[in-house]
A = this chain, B = another copy of it.
Amino acid sequence: MHDAGDRNHRILFSLRPEGTPVPESFGADTTAVPTPGPGQFLSRTLYLSLDPLYRAAMRGNSEASLRLNPGDVMSGETVAQVLESRHPGYRSGEYIVVRNGWQQFALSSGQGVRRLDPDRAPVSTALGVLGLPGLAGYTGLIYLGEPRPGQTVLVSAATGPVGCTAGQAARIVGARAVGIAGSPEKCDYAVRELGYAACINHRSGDLAAQIRAACPGGVDVYFDNVGGEVLSCVVNLLAPHARVILCGMSEAYNVEVPPPGPSLAPVLSARATLQGIVVQDHLHRLPELERVVGSWIRAGLFRYKEDITDGLASAPAAFCRLMRGQNFGKALVRVAPEHL
């Protein structure tokens, strides 16, 4: 239960940013903690997930189901704990994944809520490698990429929750995983901790030459989390019949009009396939993700990194940092301690 004196702190979307979001894009307020009606429950937010997707929601021209308007509570996936329930399916104390958004408390009717077993893995992983980012990396790599043992799988944003899942899954199924990341620290971590055969810093020198050196037989599978210049470079280095999985376009997040894509002439001559993955199409594979990747984690085969910021008030600055690519690991805000 929350204390009678508790108030609900919330972060609001305040001003559509031009380009990269700034702290002034956000506001804050405080309201009463709401009381659940029949069929509802109240939960306390423990972890808030910061996702580049919500940059798109801040755009006036984004999809209606996603679009934020000034004054709205910022939206986002959270891990929360049920505090008070008038819902027959949830009882106080349970851990759940729920879209509480950027606030300390919220009501839910249970729609879209996923129950968590805190003994299986740290509950925060439900927003990362055992949540939607991991699902995109795992299903995109396994079902769209179809890597064969010995093939070379290149992964951009290699240390993030999507990339680290794709890259480690590639290695574990017998492929050779090569990463691309944005700093020497990330590259070092990718090789030392995540088991990439090599990792290329895309901010240092000739990207094409570096990829060619790390992938002498060409790229059989490219798991693309960034689009833009990196994708334009990689399409020239594809092995015959390569598969490219388009999973994110981080270079396009901060601009209104998407930039042109890579020349497709090399895609044609490589007989390559380009395919987009939208994680919502693969929600039925969440139990498989939890089972398979969960077992890899428990066996010590699979690692992950979280970039945790403390306190809801720090969320705007942490989100801006994420949108500048300065996070290292899955970006989370710890809104409340797991055990009060």
The number of times this chain is found in the oligomer is: 2
Select one of B260, B270, B278 contacting A271, CB under 8 A.
B278
CB <8 Å contact, B264 and A249: yes
Contact (A232, B260) CB under 8 Å given A249-B265, A252-B265, A273-B274: yes
Query: Per-residue 0/1 for A276-298: is the Cβ within 8 Å of any B Cβ (1 yes, 0 no)?
Result: 11100100000000000000000
Residues of B near A274 (CB, < 8 A) are 264, 267, 273-275
Tell me the chain A residues, 248-275 only, with Cβ under 8 Å from chain B. 249, 252, 258-275
Complex formed: what's the CA distance from A266 to B264 in Å?
15
CB <8 Å contact, B227 and A264: yes
* Least distance between A85 CB and chain B CB atoms (Å): 36
**In the complex, how many residues of chain A place their beta carbon closer than 8 angstroms to a beta carbon of chain B?**
29
CB <8 Å contact, A260 and B262: yes
Residues of B near A249 (CB, < 8 A) are 264-265, 268
Contact (A246, B258) CB under 8 Å given A269-B276, A274-B275, A278-B271: no
CB <8 Å contact, A270 and B263: no
Residues of B near A270 (CB, < 8 A) are 276
CB <8 Å contact, A268 and B262: no
CB <8 Å contact, A267 and B260: no
Residue on B with the closest CB to A262?
Answer: B261
16 A-B residue pairs with Cβ-Cβ distance under 8 Å, sorted by A, are A227-B264, A231-B264, A232-B260, A249-B264, A249-B268, A252-B265, A258-B263, A258-B265, A260-B263, A261-B261, A264-B276, A268-B276, A271-B278, A272-B275, A273-B273, A273-B274
- Besides A262-B264, A273-B274, 11 more A-B contacts (Cβ < 8 Å) are A227-B264, A258-B263, A258-B265, A259-B263, A268-B276, A268-B277, A268-B278, A269-B276, A271-B276, A271-B277, A271-B281
